[in-house]
Amino acid sequence: MHGLMSELGQRHNVTAVALIDHELLDPDECRRAMESYCSEVVLVRLPHLGEPSRRLLQLRSLASTSSFERLLLTVPAMRPALDGLLRARRFDIVNLEFTSLGHYEFRQAPHGEQPPALVVDSHNIDYDLARQYAAVGNGSARRLYAAVNWRKLRREELGTYRDADGVYLCSATDERRLLDQAPGLRTMVIPNAADVDFYQPRSTDPVPDGRTVVFFGLLSYAPNVDAVTYFVREIWPRIAAAHPEAHCKVIGGQPPPALLALAGPRIEFTGFVEDLRPHLAAAAAVVVPLRLGGGTRLKIVEAMAMGKAVVSTTLGAEGIEAVPDRDLLIQDNPDSFADAVIRVLADPDLGARLGQSARRLAVERYSWSGAARALENFYRQILEAKSSRQIST
């Protein structure tokens, strides 16, 4: 979102309305950062739920027709914030992030003006992600809950997509999934990208140490939790046995206790870091052992932009037009995944070749500037179609 909004803000007037958890983020710091590319920023407080309150809301959601996600994001202060903005001035486009906010009213405008077009950014097909978790998640109670919740998510999410003037998705695979369920939607694939000027090899960075394997991502996100657990339990022991000096570094905020319990003498959890680049530069390899999820992964394109050797599952690299064995290594079972990492640790030249090719691909295909230009073209198509409908009626 930051990548696209900061690029769009260079050529357009962008107003942002966002929910924010004051316990996790500093609203003043967020506002200052966003005002560098937004003409106006409205932050609405999202009530912070501790673990007991969150569990109670999940129990409530079992008896509700609404999904847990929709209940969580139904915030009374959000409606007047949106109403006040949309009724005060005319907007061409409302760009909605996250379909769990789709129950708010976005098609509003000052008296006598045409309401804005609604465009939805699909980070993932969320109900499909929840369906995957229902099948393979940890614990029978969690799988049972997900089995109930994903069907509610499906109804809500497809309703939001169908109500939109356009939907853009991160991968062609997700686009096909959506169009199978909702044919006739106006869609476009705009893959996740990287700030290739920020994420690039620098002479001041540490050199690869030949032993560190890095995973990075938000560690409260279920697919990342599953990926780290899978890597540490089923893949890492083979790497550690073959390479006694190997070190596993897991970077990311909000790790649950179950993940932190996996830490050991050669397995480090850093928590959130201010700047990923030195950590990535020093790594011998970046691993993306994802088994759940959709869309495309920022972690891969950012690692590629840094010129790093990446070892991923097929699902982890989904939606990225990388050539296996040229731009990255892809393996899908624990032993072959471990062997691929061991190859990179043992052969620095292989890691350098993969990293150089990955960097070229990131610059050519996965920059935020290119993604934003594609999104602008999609907006224009939608506005032209909307204008044509108004003229014909």
Helix or strand or coil: residue 216? strand
pLDDT at 17: 97
Together in a domain, 185 and 97? yes
Together in a domain, 299 and 266? yes
Residue 311 near residue 329 (C-beta atoms within 8 A): yes
Together in a domain, 324 and 226? yes
pLDDT at 133: 77
232: region left, alpha or beta (phi > 0 left; psi from -120 to 50 alpha): alpha
State the residue range of the domain holding 26.
Answer: 2-193+369-392
Together in a domain, 216 and 156? no
Give the separation between CA 186 and CA 381, rounded to whole angstroms.
10
> For the domain that residue 217 is a member of, what is the CATH number?
3.40.50.2000
E-strand ranges in 56-143 read 93-97, 117-122
Q: In this structure, is residue 205 part of a structural domain?
A: no
Together in a domain, 245 and 135? no
Q: In this structure, is residue 362 part of a structural domain?
A: yes
Q: Please count the residues of the chain.
A: 393
Together in a domain, 138 and 285? no
Spatial CA neighbour of 153 closest among 122, 175, 198: 122
DSSP structure class, residue 129: H
pLDDT at 144: 80
Q: Any idea which residue has 């869609």 for tokens?
A: 187
Give the separation between CA 300 and CA 358, rounded to whole angstroms.
10
Give the DSSP letter string of 3-35: HHHHHHTTTS--EEEEEE-TTTS-HHHHHHHHT
CA angle 209, 345, 253 (to 5 degrees): 65
DSSP structure class, residue 253: S
Give the separation between CA 314 and CA 171, rounded to whole angstroms.
13
Together in a domain, 163 and 71? yes
Overall number of domains in the chain: 2
Together in a domain, 286 and 148? no
Together in a domain, 361 and 373? no
Helices 126-136/140-163 angle, 10° precision: 170
Together in a domain, 34 and 142? yes
Residue 329 near residue 339 (C-beta atoms within 8 A): no
Per-residue pLDDT in tens (0 to 9) along the chain, 393 residues: 999 999 999 999 999 999 999 888 899 999 999 999 999 999 999 988 888 888 899 888 988 999 999 999 999 999 999 999 999 999 999 999 999 999 999 999 999 999 999 999 999 898 988 888 777 766 677 778 888 899 999 999 999 999 999 999 998 889 999 999 999 999 999 988 999 999 999 999 999 999 999 999 999 888 899 999 999 999 999 999 999 999 999 999 989 999 999 999 999 999 999 999 999 999 999 999 999 877 678 899 999 999 999 999 999 998 899 999 999 999 999 999 999 999 999 999 999 999 999 999 999 999 999 999 999 999 999 999 988 887 776
Together in a domain, 78 and 187? yes
Together in a domain, 26 and 173? yes
pTM given for the model: 0.83
DSSP structure class, residue 99: G
pLDDT at 71: 94
Specify the DSSP element, H or E, that contains 41: strand 40-45
Give the separation between CA 82 and CA 164, rounded to whole angstroms.
17
